[in-house]
């Protein structure tokens, strides 16, 4: 299988790009320059695809530090990221190296497959703060802090298109199990903040499906419901050191890979022992969007 980067123009100024690992990033092109929001896993030549779409100078902006959003950054000289989410490069490169071998085996990738972490070098970083604006000429990208998935997560509002590029701020199986994830209550505050943004669509890091602001109420309901749910132990298959407590609000039979699925994985809860002995309630699950 070839590690191609697929691209689709989804708005007059916005292209959605996808890699074979199921990740998404977005290219926003104005009249004078372009912005690339996230860089996916680094499998496939992202920079070549960006340069095929536009010859404008490109500013790279990252929503957060996880390997499936920063892996392709090694193909670019510099990237913008929040100061809180900067400094995790070595950890994410180690994770990407493990995922790389899984991709080689799982997709039967041939020798010579492009991986940016092998072909490029770690970019320099500069820090993006809430309210940062990038004038592209005829379109503007504005940064908004969206703590939850990571404490330093950022989203980017494409003002003219009224679109929020949200990274992993909301996903059908929301993941708050990382060391630097916020509490569920802090994520609820971010959902309320997102609901007040002047956007008509929300584009995420792992789905072609576009969500709308009205969908945020379902995530809020799930967050509040999870606080009274016992949950079950969860472990990531690809990176088994990642563990959490899984709460599934969707009914049985709803496809976990569908945009309609609603679940949340928070940090592991302390195990409670009873006099009747231990009862196994956990189950292994597939990789959640990171």
Query: What would the pLDDT profile of 47-63 be if each residue is shown by its tens digit?
Result: 999 999 999 999 999 99
184-195 helix and 216-226 helix, angle to the nearest 10 degrees: 160
Mean pLDDT of the 101-114 span: 96
pLDDT of 289: 56
Query: What's phi and psi for 235, nearest 5 deg?
Result: -140, 135
pLDDT of 272: 58
Mean pLDDT of the 79-101 span: 97
CB-neighbour burial class of residue 222 (10 A; exposed 0-12, middle 13-18, buried 19+): buried
Q: What is the CA radius of gyration of the chain?
A: 19
Whether residue 271 has pLDDT greater than 70: no
Mean pLDDT of the 232-247 span: 95
Residue found by looking up tokens 């419901």 in the block:
225
């Amino acid at each position: 299988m070839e590690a191609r980067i697929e691209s689709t123009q989804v708005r007059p100024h916005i292209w959605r790009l996808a890699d074979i690992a199921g990740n998404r990033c977005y290219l926003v092109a104005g009249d004078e320059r372009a912005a690339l929001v996230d860089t996916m896993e680094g499998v496939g030549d992202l920079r070549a695809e960006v340069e095929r779409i536009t010859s404008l100078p490109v500013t790279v902006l990252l929503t957060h530090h996880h390997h499936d959003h920063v892996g392709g950054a090694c193909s670019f000289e510099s990237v913008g990221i929040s100061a809180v989410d900067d400094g995790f490069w070595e950890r994410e490169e180690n994770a990407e190296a493990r995922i790389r071998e899984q991709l080689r085996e799982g997709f039967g990738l041939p020798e010579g497959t492009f991986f940016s972490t092998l072909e490029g070098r770690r970019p320099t970083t500069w820090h993006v703060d809430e309210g940062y604006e990038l004038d592209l000429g005829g379109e503007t990208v504005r940064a908004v802090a969206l703590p939850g998935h990571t404490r330093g997560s950022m989203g980017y509002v494409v003002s003219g298109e009224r679109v929020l590029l949200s990274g992993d701020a909301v996903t059908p199986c929301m993941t708050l199990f990382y060391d630097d994830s916020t509490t569920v209550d802090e994520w609820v505050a971010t959902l309320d903040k997102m609901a007040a943004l002047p956007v008509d669509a929300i584009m995420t890091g792992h789905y072609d499906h576009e969500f709308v602001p009205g969908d945020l109420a379902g995530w809020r309901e799930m967050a509040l419901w999870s606080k009274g749910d016992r949950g079950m132990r969860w472990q990531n298959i690809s990176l088994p050191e990642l563990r959490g407590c899984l709460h599934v609000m969707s009914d049985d039979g709803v496809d976990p890979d569908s945009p309609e699925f609603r679940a949340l994985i928070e940090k592991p809860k302390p195990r409670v022992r009873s006099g009747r002995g231990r009862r196994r309630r956990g189950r292994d699950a597939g990789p959640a969007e990171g």
